[in-house]
Every structure is written in structure tokens, then in C-alpha cells.
A and B are shown apart, each in its own frame.
Chain A
Amino acid sequence: MKKEWPLWEVFVRSKNGLEHRHFGSLHAADAEMALENARDVYTRRNEGVSIWVVESIHITASNPEHNGEMFEPAQDKVYRHPTFYDLPDEIKHM
């Protein structure tokens, strides 16, 4: 449908100090409406302190067909993962 509003991606920071996380997407005519819609659709249960919206066409995504060359070479290199350390319990969000 040509008349449909463009799609926007919504990122919400759930509390200060944390990064914005992708929450989902929605339709809106412009950025201002996208923010209001995001407020109503994603943060009405007190989920956030800050919202970012970006029109979905501005996101360049990797092609799932290329997953082999993009991601698999990393799988057999355990030394790239920081799994040999013990994290103290006090450290959150790692």
C-alpha cells in the first residue's frame, strides 16, 4: 500500500547508565509522530527514560545468506571469548 506510513525502529533506554536497546518497530508519518507512537506502544508500563527512533530505511542490514563468511569463522576460536576469567558478582550488566 502506497499510502501507508513509513516504518520506524524504536530504541529505548530502560534506565540511566544503560544503552538504548532495540524494542521493535512501528509506523508513523514523521519523526515526531514516531516518538509519540513509541511512547504509547513501548513505554506505557514504565519501561524507559529515553527513546530514539530512526526510519527503518536508514538501517543497512547484513545479508543472512552471508552468515557463513560473516560469523562462522569466529566460532572455533575460543580464545577470543573472555571465558577464562571469573567475574565478581558485584559486576552487573556484563
Chain B
Amino acid sequence: MNTNLYNYILGIADNSLILGQRLGELCGHGPTLETDIALTNISLDLFGQVRSYYQYAAKIAGDDRNEDTIAMMRPEREYVNVLLVEQPNTDFAYTIARQFLFDMYHFMFLKELQNSNDETLEAIAKKSIKEVSYHLRFSSDWVKRLGDGTEESNKRIQNAINDLWAYTDELFYQTEADEVMIVEGIGVDVSKLKEQYYKQVSEVLNEATLEVPDLKYFQKGGKQGIHTEHMGYILAELQYMQRAYPNMSW
């Protein structure tokens, strides 16, 4: 089995799985019916993408692993999502800020992944990018609405951006698998996206009359499986059914 490719795929897919799970928590709890449906739609888009990645990963593993066991039966240390996506839905502003900071990265990443030497990853990227451009439009719009809205909404989205900013740098951290995949022309060199990312994020924040945080120290660890205290709770909910009723299906 090509361990680097396998790990590389999980590195992409785990972000979407955990963010999708976070958004799924809002089902029936969104601030309005319309935003509730919009956020859970995004969640379903992400889960759809995740299935393609895990199915491919299972094929590469070539043993008794399948998309469900990869998604739901790993211990916490084996999930390699970035810390940003596991941050809680503190309020609508945090949900939107987290989404926006991830969507901008996700969009830029998929744009490059479309040029991958790996045909399956190329195909998944081409299919997903349409969904993700909508996610980015939705979250950028809301950042602007909240930032340029009332005094209260401005304060809340600014707080959320300030708090979540510490998790943005990790998006551009490369693991060993990432580096091997870049050399083979399969993976995306995300370090090259960093400058453009902060530039484009800042443009939206400026338009939203928000301040771009000036931070020197950033959090990381998720890509090595070292997660924040939130992760265990997410996995408890995500894994409960599969662990209580192994191999169950709807």
C-alpha cells in the first residue's frame, strides 16, 4: 500500500469530515430556517466529498478497511484534520468565521488539486470545487453582512475572527506525506498558497469593515493527530452508532 498517498488523502478528507460534523450539529438549531438549511447543505456537500476520498483511501489500503471504518472507527490520534475545523459553534459569528477561514483555503486548495497527476484526486477536485465556490460565496457574504451590520454583529464577528485566527497558519503546514506527494506531482504545495490566502482573506475583512488580526504565535498539532479538547466530544458523537452497533447501516 502507498502509505504516503493514503495519509495524504486522509489529510484532505478529515478536514471536511470534522467540519461537516460540526455543521451537522446545527441541524434544527440554526438561527433561522434558511441559514439552518444552508449550513446543513454545506455539511452534506462536505460529507459527499468525504465519501469519495475515503472510498479511494480504502481502495489504496486494499485490506478490510472501508469508507465507514476509515471515517468512524479510528482513534483520535489518527485523525489528521486541522484544529480550525474542530472549533465549536460558539455562536453564529464563530460558525461563519470558521467556515470563511476554511472555505478560502479549501477553494484555493481544490483549484490546485485539479492539476494533480492522480486521476481520482483530480476528478474529486473538479467535482467538489463547484460546491466549495458556493460555500465561499455564502460565508464571505455573511462575514460582510455581520461585519458591516450592527455594532453587535460587528463585535461578534470580529471576536470570532480574532479567536480563530490562531488556527489559520496550520492550514499551510506540510507533513511528510504532503512533501512526498508534492514531489510526485500528486499533492498541492500549500506553502505557496499562504501569501495569496492572507491577501484574499484580508480583502474580505476590509470590505466587511473588520480588522485583520496581527498575531505572531499560532496553534498547530491537528495534522499530527494532536487535537484540542473539543475533538473527543466530536468523535464520541460521530462514532457512537458504529461502535454500539458495528456495521450498522440505514
Contacts and interface: CB of A to CB of B under 8 A. Distances in A.
A36 B138 contact: yes
A40 B134 CA distance: 10
**Candidate in B34, B35, B141 with the most chain A CB atoms within 10 angstroms:** B34
B38 A5 contact: no
Interface in B107-153: 134, 137-138, 141, 145
A5 B145 CA distance: 14
B141 A32 contact: yes
Contacts of A36: 38, 137-138, 141
Contacts of A5: 32
B145 A37 contact: no
B73 interface: no
Contact of B32 (A27, A32, A39): A27
B202 to A, nearest CB: 23
Interface in B8-37: 32-35, 37
B4 interface: no
B138 to A, nearest CB: 6
Interface residues of A, number: 13
Contact of A41 (B37, B134, B138): B37
Contacts, number: 29
A28 to B, nearest CB: 7
**Candidate in A5, A28, A36 with the most chain B CB atoms within 10 angstroms:** A36
Contacts of A54: none
B41 interface: yes
A60 B194 CA distance: 53
B35 to A, nearest CB: 8
A49 interface: no
Interface string A29-63: 10011001101110010000000000000000000
A13 B176 CA distance: 50
B161 to A, nearest CB: 21
Nearest to A36: B138
**B interface, over-half SS:** helix
A33 to B, nearest CB: 8
Nearest to A29: B145
B41 A44 contact: yes
Interface in B36-87: 37-38, 41
A26 B34 CA distance: 7
Nearest to A30: B145
A29 B144 CA distance: 13
A28 B34 contact: yes
Contacts of B137: 36
A8 B145 CA distance: 19
B8 to A, nearest CB: 31
Given A29-B145, A32-B141, A40 B32 contact: no
Contact of B34 (A32, A40, A44): A40
Nearest to B138: A36
A32 B35 CA distance: 14
12 contacts: A5-B32, A26-B33, A27-B32, A27-B34, A33-B141, A36-B137, A37-B35, A37-B37, A40-B34, A40-B37, A40-B41, A41-B34
Leading 3 A-B pairs by shortest Cβ distance: A37-B34, A40-B38, A40-B37
